[in-house]
Amino acid sequence: MMFAQRMKQGMELSGESFHKVAHLFASLSHHLSIRGVITGVLPGRVFLAHDGTAAILTSPQGIFFGGSSDNKLFLNEAALGFAAQGRAVATAGYRGAAGLCLVLSTGRIMGNST
């Protein structure tokens, strides 16, 4: 995931800063791997939008999105970065609803709210 070095809309956090995004993933508390990454028990990476309203967390279980979906520039940048991997992103924080967002190799995002 070398795209982190080229991010303009966000940044990759260091492990000691992961706790700063915990509130953004509150509605995904049933995913224990999110808590594991934030507390340093599990390996992972965290990317935070510069405005602090959205974050993406990678874990052994997958890639998760937390916070507001209003920051389209950050989301598009992340989608392009993850698109080559074709991985799924569990989303939370959009009007309190959780859904599944698939990042396709074309860079398009397809969502399904639950």
Tens digits of residue pLDDT in 8-55: 888 889 999 999 999 999 888 888 999 999 999 999 989 999 999 999
pTM for the full predicted model: 0.71
| Distance between CA atoms of residues 29 and 89, nearest Å | 15
d(CA 42, CA 57): 12
Which alpha helices (H) appear in the chain, and where do they start and end?
32-39, 72-83
Count up the domains in the chain and report the number.
1
Tell me, what amino acid is at 40?
Answer: G
Cβ atoms of 36 and 59 within 8 Å: the answer is: yes
The whole domain housing 10 covers 2-113
